[in-house]
Structure 1
Amino acid sequence: MYHSTIAEALADPRLSALSARGAASTPFSRLDWLALLAAECLPGQHCSVAVAHEADGALAALPYRVEKGAVHGLANWYSFTAGPLFHGATPAQAAALLAAIARSLVQFGAVSFAPLGEPEAALLSTAFRRSGWIGASRRSDTNHVLPVNGRTFAEYWAARPGALRETVRRKRAKGRVELRIATAFDPADWAAYEAVYARSWKPSEGSPAFLRRFAQMEGAAGALRLGLALIDGQPVAAQFWTVEGGTAFIHKLAHDDAATSHSPGTLLTAALFEHVIDRDKVALVDFGTGDDPYKRDWMDTTRPRWRVEAFRPGAVRHWPGLLRMAARRLVHGPASD
């Protein structure tokens, strides 16, 4: 059982598997992505990873940051998930290793991890409670996803709402919008993406340096899908997707409000869906967190995202948080535990 900074963990050969891309990896489960997030988005914060391992090589790792004396998941608005990482661990080993990690965090007195998938939330909540913490999980967000289920893009598209399909048909027929999808990082393409974003309805980018370095990382790995829509040679819509582990992740999208009548963002989204379904053969498309109504036109289902909170009974400074958690349980009942 040990704790390392994220930079130390990235250089630790025992943890090399946690930076590898594979059949089940995501950007958010890789230490190289977490190291980039810590360096660019959380400078000056105490960012670490707690590691527990077995003699047979099975391991669990829990990346975290410390803020105001409490432990939080190593995440921000760019994170689709932020939970425990495993390599070579059976379910029983995963539970035991997480419990050991929970015991190693007692000095902090309070923890909060989000967003989590339901299985990860259950594992983490159980680990803390079995290690003497008082904890609970509650739903914190919604994740829109599209299970492809072996369909072609044409089969997927036939099931979309009629109004969406008609918009794409009419705007394509006019031929005003040129579409391009880049799979390698190019500074000119990225400058076009940033120019579109700056002219869009979106608030200013939280960490443009992080996003650029992430795009460079994914481009070098062949995982980048950067879509651009142009009218008369000028970029008017841009989207940043990546593909990994059989999933296409939709990270960012924006369009120039002045070009709304041409629906460049809608045309670009359709083109990217076609690319990842028919060319990349993904099994899932993940639209991240947020229950935005427009996502329902493109996606088939949703998954809950959870927050796990836990407190040490003796940590007096965190009693207000413990009382708030208890009050929520009184109002909503224990079903979220």
Structure 2
Amino acid sequence: MTVSVEWLDDWETIAARAGDALDRARQSRLFDRLDWYRLMGTYLYPAAPPVTLRAGDAWMFLVDDGPGRATALSKWYGLAWRPITDDPRQLDTLFIEAGRRYDHLVLHPLDGSEASRIGAALKRTGWQARTDRVSTNWTVDVTAKSFADYWRERPGQLRNTAARRMKRYPLEVAIHRHFDASVWTDYEAIYADSWKPTEGSMSFLRGLAEQEGAAGTLRLGIAKDGHGRAIAAQLWLVENGIATIHKLAHRESVKDISPGTILSHAMFRAAIDEDRVARIDFGLGDEPYKADWMDTSNPIYRIDAYRPDSLRGLAGIGREHAARLVRRLRGR
């Protein structure tokens, strides 16, 4: 059976072709939805047209990244990426067509199952691929647990620290499930006064909060001190039994009272006891404190794929081999 294949370069045409196939009702994961990709394209790549490949019911969202090279449309806000299809034949079609336009694909962030699935498809379709571990994703399974059950399993040091801080520094915590402009102003003020670098696109985050607030998945936690000043914030999304922690920050001036720990205690309790989630996902990064709150670390990968039947692809393969040799020699 012949599959219709096309490259699409504007969001209105993409939306028309997709119909409801990439809507919330059809796609359980945020990172598989057109709304997510459109937000990223609008705020993170405003000057670049989308590079979207459709093969029948399969979709692959990319960014043109120079002559012969494309990267996954993900940026730093994306916690997961994949070609949107579960059909191996359609997946192969996507990579065959991508190879007619590009010599080098950079695909990330990929969990282990996606890295294996995509790696196999690339091999079947003539690409030469290298897979590297680039990050870690921490999760905790809380299926059928109460917060009390979960909390008993945490390290004693974390439980003791939280108890001491909450007793000594009682904070007012509110978890907002719908977008509120005044609450978002507090979030931005906390982030600007935190230890974190300048945010890549606060407009993107606001757009995401507005979108998910309308859908009812937003959990924006704000902790205030005794003077009513907002000092810590966390942006979570809760959907389909999974709570995902996207952003967290606290004012650097109050780090000694551990406002993040106090707010996290409240956020975890609400997710487990009120939302009754089965899993909590701490996004990407292997910061040591995450191990106290989570119980499973999952490797995250990046794939660099090259076309061995093109000059640029061969040059890329050569550079990869040279870099691998240098690393091996340095390791001796």
Could you tell me the TM-score, scaled by structure 1's length?
0.90
Counterparts of 1:286 and 1:330 in 2: how far apart (Å)?
A: 36
Distance, in Å, in 2 between the alignment partners of 1:320 and 1:235 is 53
Unaligned runs of 5+ residues in structure 1 are 54-58
Aligned to 1:31: 34
Q: Deviations over 1:249-303 (max 9, x none)?
A: 1111010122223221111011101111111111111111111111111111111
Aligned position for 2:254: 259
| Aligned match of 1:202 | 196
Cα distance, 1:9–1:308 mapped onto 2, change above 3 Å: farther
Q: How far 1:153 sits from its partner (Å)?
A: 0.8
Does residue 238 of structure 1 match 2:233? yes
2:202 maps to 1:220? no
Partner of 1:274: 269
The one-letter amino acid of 2:268's match is: F
Change (3 A) 1:184 1:10: farther
Q: Does the Cα contact within 8 Å between 1:103 and 1:131 map onto a contact in 2?
A: yes
1:245 Cα shift?
2.3
Q: Cα 1:129–1:25, aligned 2, differ >3 Å: closer, same or farther?
A: same
Q: Distance in 1 between matches of 2:277 and 2:321?
A: 42
List per-residue Cα deviations over 1:183-228 (Å, max 9, x = no partner): 0100010000000111100001100111101100010000000000
> Which SS does the other structure have where 2:20 is aligned?
helix
In the alignment, does 2:244 pair up with 1:249?
yes
- Partner of 1:18, secondary structure, is coil
Q: After superposition, give the CA deviation of every residue in 1:98-137 in whole Å (9 maximum; x if it has no partner).
A: 1111111122111110001112112212222211211232
Structure 1 residue 36, shift from structure 2 partner? 0.5
Preserved contact between residue 8 and residue 14 of structure 2 (Cα < 8 Å): no
Amino acid at match of 2:122: F
Separation of aligned partners in 1, 2:9 and 2:277: 34
Cα 1:332–1:243 shift into 2, 3 Å: farther
Structure 2 contact 52–61 (Cα < 8 Å) conserved: yes
Query: Would the aligned equivalents of 1:181 and 1:227 in 2 still touch at CA under 8 Å?
Result: yes
Q: Tell me, what secondary structure is at the counterpart of 1:265?
A: helix
The partner residue of 1:96 within 73, 86, 89 is 89
Tell me the secondary structure at the aligned position of residue 259 of structure 1: helix
RMSD: 1.9
Shift of the 284–327 alpha-carbon distance from structure 1 to 2, 3 Å rule, reads farther
Q: What is the aligned-residue identity percentage?
A: 39
| Pair 1:163-2:157 in alignment | yes
Which of 117, 131, 136 is residue 111 of structure 2 equivalent to?
117
Instruction: Tell me, in whole angstroms, the C-alpha distance in 1 between the residues paired with 2:12 and 2:322.
Output: 40
> Residue 50 of structure 2 aligns to a residue in which SS?
strand
Partner amino acid, structure 2, of 1:44: A
Q: Give the equivalent residue in structure 2 for 1:7.
A: 11
Secondary structure class of the residue paired with 2:80: coil
